[in-house]
Amino acid sequence: MTTKGLLLVMIDVPAEHEAELNRWYDEEHFLERMVCEGFLNGRRLIAEEGGPKYLAYYDLQSPAVLDSAAYRKIAPRTPWTARIAAHFTRSVRNVYAEIRPEVCNGPRKTGTGLLLVAIDVAAEHEAELNRWWDEEHIRERMAIPGFLRARRFRAIEDGAIEGAPKYLTLYDIESPDVLQTPEYKHWSGPGTTDFTRRIRQHFNPIVRNVYRQIRARDAIGG
């Protein structure tokens, strides 16, 4: 089976350039990628907690799509891309490979919310980190009402293609309001397990962002 890939881009711009950033995505950049062979779908979201403020991610048939001839045709910067990129105050571009099949609660996979958690640990703690996710944490989170899907990825590090933090989990949720429910607050507070407390000591760093969807569509090229 081909390992699925994920291209994740996060951007901050000054407030006076946000309208242009959104036009650029909606009228050029996002659409270019949606017709590229190997792109499956794309979503754009805006941060409610954490940052950078704007997130776009694209599901790929495999990480190798970004080395394909089809992608190389659209990778060079257009004049509009160069103009808006000059205003980026912070930008992150990470490429990930899926490391386990998605876990879903029913047929609906996405809502209006997304919880992004990215973690690095020292090499000697990676096995324990993965065991914690696979044996306890994902099961615990997916039992919370409003959690629709969980997906885990590992960053690709190959020359110019890099990602950090190394481990990424995306939780699709009904809406960001799910994270204010008693069930979520229990498991992230008094219900925290000993295993979670132990592994948390090794997180360096941890990124936890909450996003609300502003656009999504399936790719034509997928």
pLDDT at position 35 is 96
Residue 216 is encoded by which pair of tokens?
Answer: 């999504």
Contact 116, 211 (CB under 8 A): yes
Which letter, b or e, does each residue of 176-205 get, where b requires 16 or more Cβ atoms within 10 Å of its Cβ? bebbeeeebeebeeeeeeeeeeebeebbee
Q: What's at 209, amino acid-wise?
A: N
90-149 pLDDT, tens per residue?
Answer: 999 999 999 999 999 999 999 999 999 999 999 999 999 999 999 999 999 999 999 999
Pairing of strands 113-119, 206-218: antiparallel
Specify the CATH number for the domain of residue 43. Answer: 3.30.70.100
Into how many domains does the chain fold?
1
pLDDT at position 84 is 98
CA angle 207, 181, 197 (to 5 degrees): 45
pTM above 0.85, yes or no: yes
First-last CA distance in the chain: 16
The mean per-residue pLDDT over the stretch 198-213 comes to 97
Report the chain's mean pLDDT, rounded to a whole number.
94
Contact 51, 12 (CB under 8 A): yes
pLDDT at position 162 is 54
Domain boundaries, position 122: 5-218
